[in-house]
Amino acid sequence: SGLGRLLNSALAGFDPDSISGTNPVTGWLNRKYGGPAYDLDTVVGTDANLSTLDSGVALLPGAAGDNLSTPSAPANRITGDIDIRTLVALFDYTPAANNTLIAKAQDTNNRSYWLEVGNTAALKLVHSPDGTSGNQIVTSSTIATGIAAGTVIWFRATMDVDDGAGNHVVIFYTSTDDVADSADVTTWTQLGATVTIVGTTSIYDSASPVEIGGLFLGSIQVSAGKVYRAQIFNGIDGTLVVDFNPSDADAGVAIDTDTWTSSTTGEVWTVNGDAFVNNTGHTGIYSRGSVGLETTSGQLINSPVTVYAVFKPTLAAPGANQVLFDARLNAGNRIVVRTNDANSDKYSIFQGGTTLEMSPAYDNELRVITSQFNGDATTKLTVSDVGSVTGDAGSGNWDFGSVLIKLDGTLTFPGLFLELLVFDSAHNSGEISRIQNFLAAKYST
């Protein structure tokens, strides 16, 4: 087709099928006619901060307020035996502070229960019989999880509030079964010894919401990582009453303030802060910051150059400039798209001359970003559903290339990168519209 021929004319193209590595990502390989010289095969910075993010997965950046929640409801107000299970990939299983996985506790006197990875690397189940901190009971696994950073793992904790002998009993488990639903796990491995505590107990019936990735409405003990599933059962192997499944979210990754309804248990989930869900149907490269990708050596691309990027920033209010792409090394041949912290983080474009900045406000939604580096007054930056800016940004060529980072290794851009297309030619309005529409439909922007 005409669109197919147009896409195949790209000098360099990077998409979900050309990602090398998962945790960490080790490169993004060129699928177009320019060949391997254009491979983004060199990681610059903290390589552990670059990983894949699959579709149907929630991302917790790890800052206060970044969580997902559902209101209190009769079904999640469990007071007796409880069974909590979650499938996660935390960025650190030996955190400096406790990382809450799933909780129902909104403040000091409204504590029901929560499961966390402690700063000792042990799993902990915390509950309060009367909602207060003074009477809460913290039960830890007798051994550490021993899990490498970024590993996908099932965690499970069960509590029998009355074992019939005057005690309550907590057991922790892990599983590496590659399944999306805990009901399909066939091998639960007990983590440490069974913990038996003298005295029966109960769980306080609080009105706190259930939240994923934080405690006290996401204000403390926030987690950083990926969440694939979280489930709460009333009773050990009992009735499923809470089912957090990011695959239920509406199509499109740009759902930072969106809600969705659990397809199995019916509760409504809300995305808070800078947490988000990748539900595009495609795997992308997720950068936590302090890392970027570049070619082994610079490849000179003469102006004009047209670039399309499908990208979702992590931060709604970054505290510094963020560079989406830049030169490999040669400061005399720079083509740049970045956000400008001094101008309320608005997107800008640079081709060796004047920096052109957009007027419409920056946001951290998933966008198709189109950059027409024409070397004259027709140079244009367009951000889908946001706006554009046109003008003379210089006439330089491009020493390709660096992505998610400035050419000097600073000003990294945390976010989810799904596709990058580079053409060594100027595109007309019809060609631009066709590619923009194709990418928007492909990734449900």
Over residues 171-185, mean pLDDT: 98
**Per-residue pLDDT tens over the stretch 297-330:** 999 999 999 999 999 999 999 999 999 999 999 9
What pLDDT was estimated at residue 251?
54
What is the rounded distance in angstroms from the CA atom of residue 372 to the CA atom of residue 435? 13
Task: Tell whether the model's pLDDT for residue 253 goes beyond 70.
Answer: no
The pLDDT assigned to 444 comes to: 83
User: What integer is the mean pLDDT of 420-440?
Assistant: 97
Residue-wise pLDDT for 329-339, tens only, equals 999 999 999 99
Q: Does residue 255 carry a pLDDT above 60?
A: no
pLDDT interval class at 1 (50, 70, 90)? confident
pLDDT mean over 138-165 = 98
Q: Higher pLDDT residue, 151 or 249?
A: 151
The 10s digit of each residue's pLDDT in 277-291 is: 999 999 999 999 999
Those residues with Cβ within 8 angstroms of residue 102's Cβ, 6 or more apart along the chain or in another chain: 84, 86, 114, 115, 210, 211, 212, 230, 232, 244
Question: What pLDDT digit, counting tens, does each position of 34-60 carry?
Answer: 999 999 999 999 999 999 999 999 999
pTM score:
0.95
Q: Which domains does the chain have, with CATH numbers?
A: 2-55+283-443 (2.60.120.200), 58-273 (2.60.120.200)
The pLDDT value recorded for residue 147 is 97
The answer to whether residue 256 scores a pLDDT higher than 90 is: no
What mean pLDDT comes out for the span 7-20? Answer: 98
Strand partners, 89: 226
Instruction: Give the pLDDT score at 293.
Output: 99
Residue 119, strand partner residues: none
